[in-house]
Amino acid sequence: MKLLIVDDNKYVVAFLRKQLNWEAFGIEELIGVYSVEQAKEVFLNKQIDFLITDIEMPVQNGFDLLEWLKNQNIRSETILLTSYADFSYAQLAVKYQCFDYLLKPVDRNVLEDIVKKLVTKRIDYQKQQQLQELGNNWISHQNLVKEMFWRELVNEENIVTQENLASRIKKDKLSYTQGQSFVAMLICLEEEQENFSKELLSFTCENILREIVEKEHIGLEFLSYNSYAQFVAVFSGANPFPYKQLKHAAECFAETFSSFYHHKTICYLSECCEIINVHSHIRKLEEIFLDNLNRESGVFLEKDFSKRLDTAYNEPEIDEWRALLLEKRLDLFEQRVCGYFDGVKRTQAIDSHFLHAVLADWNMMSVNILKECNLTTYQVVTKLRNRELEERAVVNVSCMEKLILSEAAMISEQINYVEKEDQIIADIKAYIKKYLDSVTRSQIASDFYLSPSYLSKLFRSQNGISLSEYIQRSRMREARRLLLHSTLSISQIAETVGYPSFAHFSKQFKKMNGMTPNEYRKNNEGQER
């Protein structure tokens, strides 16, 4: 498998190269380029399995590249890089079916986790492609063939018209007939618990559901883990469809699974439909789920949600929250936030737009506080933000409350840290020593969440010299040590201390030490190495 990294900052490309043992993930070739045009050339000449691309690039950005790939009908699993937590970016990422996106600076553990999932998905896709090519062996893979059929239908992949649907049913020798009725069900869990893996939840959910519906002579055609804490099921039955029996079975399932799971289990049942309309009804159920944020465990019918409830946005007391955070009155802040969401939870007619508005207000307030404290934008929070919690926060009131409280604690902790100037300077010096070969002012500012101008001002006030001068002195100090106590060539030493150009290194060394690196090594060759 081949991986392409696209970023106009060569240090980011180099950084990503070093972060993981890519070969261990099956990445046989890693290619780094610095513009969209270079990336296009690579795609035209190589089969690229995975793409990691920056969004913000000059001339053409990451989304321009994705649009080009779409027009060229080139498939590549994509991870987006961005320096900003912009909701519009997330929307575009969904549009282009990106696997995930990462915020700079990239956290190694987050990157590793995403790559593991990405490679697993790719391997699964390749296995599916291989199985499709073995059409003559469909009998030995009957269950898999059926599962693949429904997975494509539910996700609206390939099968979209009555004609090719009928053709696919005939090709796979499935027993479905024209006019046959089906019912879709969306199973939504309150939230996943750490002690329940996806595999365990899927196994338990299928077994309980199958046992209950088969008693009603209803067939469970398909069950799949759809997204975080959410399953999709499709049922078939005799004509006319035994809808009352299925509703009763769903109620039994919700009660049984809630007892096993120890949390809310909500089931949404679609209306009866033909097989070609199953996908559209599932999408309707997902919309209902987003608009039903405060329901208890139970079964809800698609027909009962024919009208969407509109709710005026009850704005939180953002100014008060902001003042309490800046005053470091976290106890009172938590009290106010919990009080606000207690009121929200008593409102039955809220929808996902409401929670998106709350999140937008919170994000804006956070940005302003961080800027006031000389911290850079929203990176302080987004670097540490739990992605799965964020996804749940816009569809669950309790999760939104939990997100705000946890991030407020992070902000407060970061503000307290910034106020300890001596500690920051010590940490920056240690950082410079660790990344001497590639460190820059902008990278330090990014990793410490400080504005570049404030960083420079703070460093000079504490050390009497500029940050750039300190970095240069550190590099020369390390260069002198290596010249005396290592057998590395001068070119190797130059690269080690952050000078890709030998000529530039030699010039700077002579300027600061009064002699060339070679002269320095010869004049001190009597010293023990």
The CATH number of residue 26's host domain is 3.40.50.2300
State yes or no: pLDDT of 286 exceeds 90: no
411 and 425, same domain (yes or no):
no
- Asked, for residue 478, whether it belongs to a domain, the answer is yes
For 479-506, the pLDDT digits (tens) are: 999 998 888 999 999 999 989 888 999 9
d(CA 383, CA 17): 20
Average pLDDT, the chain: 82
State yes or no: pLDDT of 528 exceeds 50: no
- Asked, for residue 529, whether it belongs to a domain, the answer is no
For 36-94, the pLDDT digits (tens) are: 999 999 999 999 988 999 888 888 888 899 999 989 988 888 888 887 767 677 777 77
Partners of residue 100 on adjacent β-strands: 79
- Asked, for residue 490, whether it belongs to a domain, the answer is yes
For 160-174, the pLDDT digits (tens) are: 678 888 888 888 888
Report the range of poorest mean pLDDT among 276-280, 372-376, 491-495: 372-376
6 and 52, same domain (yes or no):
yes
Q: Which pLDDT belongs to residue 101?
A: 77
- Asked, for residue 202, whether it belongs to a domain, the answer is yes
Per-residue pLDDT averaged across 98-104, rounded? Answer: 81
Q: Which pLDDT belongs to residue 310?
A: 47
Q: Which pLDDT belongs to residue 44?
A: 92
161 and 286, same domain (yes or no):
yes
Domain count, the chain: 4
Select from 394, 418, 442 the last residue of a domain: 418
For 358-368, the pLDDT digits (tens) are: 888 888 888 78
Q: Which pLDDT belongs to residue 311?
A: 47
Max Cα-Cα span within the chain: 98
pLDDT > 90 fraction of the chain, expressed in percent and rounded? 19
Select from 65, 94, 129 the last residue of a domain: 129
Cα torsion through 281, 286, 292, 298, rounded to 10: 70
pLDDT band at 529 (very low <50, low <70, confident <90, very high): very low
pTM of the model: 0.40
Strands (E), 276-333: 298-301
337 and 273, same domain (yes or no):
no
453 and 434, same domain (yes or no):
yes
Q: Supply the range of the domain harboring residue 11.
A: 2-129
Please name the residues in contact with 32: beta carbons below 8 A apart, sequence gap of 6 or more: 4, 5, 6, 7, 10, 13, 14, 16, 17
246 and 348, same domain (yes or no):
no
State yes or no: pLDDT of 381 exceeds 60: no
Name the amino acid, one letter, at 478: E
Select from 275, 305, 335 the last residue of a domain: 305
281 and 343, same domain (yes or no):
no
Cα torsion through 337, 342, 345, 348, rounded to 10: -120
Question: Per the structure block, which two tokens stand in for 520?
Answer: 């320095």
505 and 455, same domain (yes or no):
yes
- Asked, for residue 528, whether it belongs to a domain, the answer is no
Q: Which pLDDT belongs to residue 181?
A: 93
59 and 181, same domain (yes or no):
no
- Asked, for residue 447, whether it belongs to a domain, the answer is yes
pLDDT band at 102 (very low <50, low <70, confident <90, very high): confident
Report the range of poorest mean pLDDT among 178-182, 394-398, 400-404, 433-437: 394-398
Q: Which pLDDT belongs to residue 349?
A: 56
